[in-house]
Chains A and B, each alone.
Chain A
Amino acid sequence: MSGRKSARLRRGKRGGESSGGTIELDITSLLDATVIILIFLVQTFNSSGVISSLHSGIVPPFSDSKVINHPGVNVEVSSDQIWVEDKLVVDDKTKMKTDHDGRRISSLFDELDQKRQTVQLVEKSSPEAKKFTGAINLIVDKSIKYSHLKQILFTCAEAGYKTYQLVVRGASN
């Protein structure tokens, strides 16, 4: 191959020019759009990643708190039902069993107690295991009355969860 021909080929490859039927794309505007999409994704990305979705019927109240949510056992409370980490523990509030003079919700206590014991068991078995923090994320519907919230707070405390993290809706910035 002559030197002139090989130089022409190199130039063609480097510059993206056609050597017969090749399509040259102007990707400047595409890159502009990609940058905007990236900024959008970065802005809407929840770095804590603790709570991504809620069960239907739960609308947390709005708050001006700026503290992002931290890891903990997620307890979701709607007007009728209660979930612990997506497991339904109370299906109908009017039929739920309570003890301690109606202050403690039995099924919620059993589930939380079991979770605590599991974490503490793992904690003992391995020094690198995640420690039990006693933190609980309470994702409560805004219409709930304090009488019901009080039952939940008391049950969590009885099960060994001493730090309540009340999950609310806040502004992104």
Chain B
Amino acid sequence: MMEAPSGKKAAHKQIRLNLTPIMDFLMVVIFYFLWVSNPHVFKEIFSDVPITSDEEPKTTTPPLALTLKIENKNISLFSGVPEKLIKSFPKQSDGNFPLEELHSQVLQIKKNNPKEKQIILNPESDISYEEIVKIMDSIRMRRNTDDTILDDGQSVEILFNDIIFGNIQS
């Protein structure tokens, strides 16, 4: 007949939990959460209120006054005072604006005017906010694949990020 283990012996027996499998599983779960989690965070695009002034400009050089008129089927890029059309960008057959073409044109203008940062947007009433943001994205920053623009020996990363909605009072 076998004897039951004494309490003294049981008390001395060490219990060692093997946590390795559960930790492995936990790591898989964490990677899964990382994968499915929404990586989008909130960012910002700045814009200032347009200010009209009767004061004479301080500099004698004529302003670039880059203006983007956004219509339902066409984007027109103007410059100067009075405004002069630089180029039009009609919507493509797929219903999208040729934003790459617009970006290249704006990049070219920036190369000739590296200190300029301001652009005026005049969208039409029925343009969606999403469309406006896409257009703003194409004119705000230089991309890694673009040519380098130098200003006083320094690389310029910003194209035209001082965006003003020119027609909010109309």
Binding site for B on A (CB under 8 A): 18, 20-27, 29-30, 32-33, 36-37, 40, 44, 46, 50-51, 60-70, 103, 137, 140-147, 149-150, 153-154, 157, 161-172
| Contact, CB under 8 Å: A60 / B42 | yes
- Residue in A22, A62, A66, A165 whose beta carbon sits within 8 Å of that of B46 in the complex: A165
Nearest-CB distance from A108 to chain B (Å)? 14
| Contact, CB under 8 Å: A33 / B44 | no
User: Which residues of chain A are near B46, meaning CB under 8 Å?
Assistant: 67, 163-166
Contact code string B1-27 (vs A, CB < 8 Å = 1, else 0): 000000000011111110110011011
| Contact, CB under 8 Å: A153 / B168 | yes
- Residue in A23, A64, A167 whose beta carbon sits within 8 Å of that of B44 in the complex: A167
Closest to A154 in B: B168
5 contacts between A and B (CB under 8 A): A40-B33, A44-B37, A143-B128, A154-B169, A166-B45
Binding site for A on B (CB under 8 A): 11-17, 19-20, 23-24, 26-27, 30, 33-34, 37, 39-49, 123-130, 132-134, 136-137, 140-141, 165, 167-169
Nearest-CB distance from B97 to chain A (Å)? 15
- Compute how far the CA of A147 lies from the CA of B16 in the bound complex, rounded to whole angstroms: 69
| Contact, CB under 8 Å: B129 / A169 | no
User: Which residues of chain B are near A23, meaning CB under 8 Å?
Assistant: 14-17
- Residue in A18, A162, A172 whose beta carbon sits within 8 Å of that of B39 in the complex: A172
- Residue in B27, B42, B47, B48 whose beta carbon sits within 8 Å of that of A170 in the complex: B42
User: Which residues of chain A are near B41, meaning CB under 8 Å?
Assistant: 46, 68, 169-172
| Contact, CB under 8 Å: B16 / A144 | no
- Residue in A21, A29, A153, A166 whose beta carbon sits within 8 Å of that of B12 in the complex: A21
User: Which residues of chain A are near B165, meaning CB under 8 Å?
Assistant: 150, 153
User: Which residues of chain B are near A51, meaning CB under 8 Å?
Assistant: 42
Nearest-CB distance from B16 to chain A (Å)? 6
Nearest-CB distance from B121 to chain A (Å)? 9
Q: Among A37, A141, A166, which residue has the most Cβ atoms of chain B within 10 A?
A: A166
Closest to B46 in A: A165
- Residue in A33, A142, A146, A167 whose beta carbon sits within 8 Å of that of B42 in the complex: A167
User: Which residues of chain A are near B137, meaning CB under 8 Å?
Assistant: 63-65
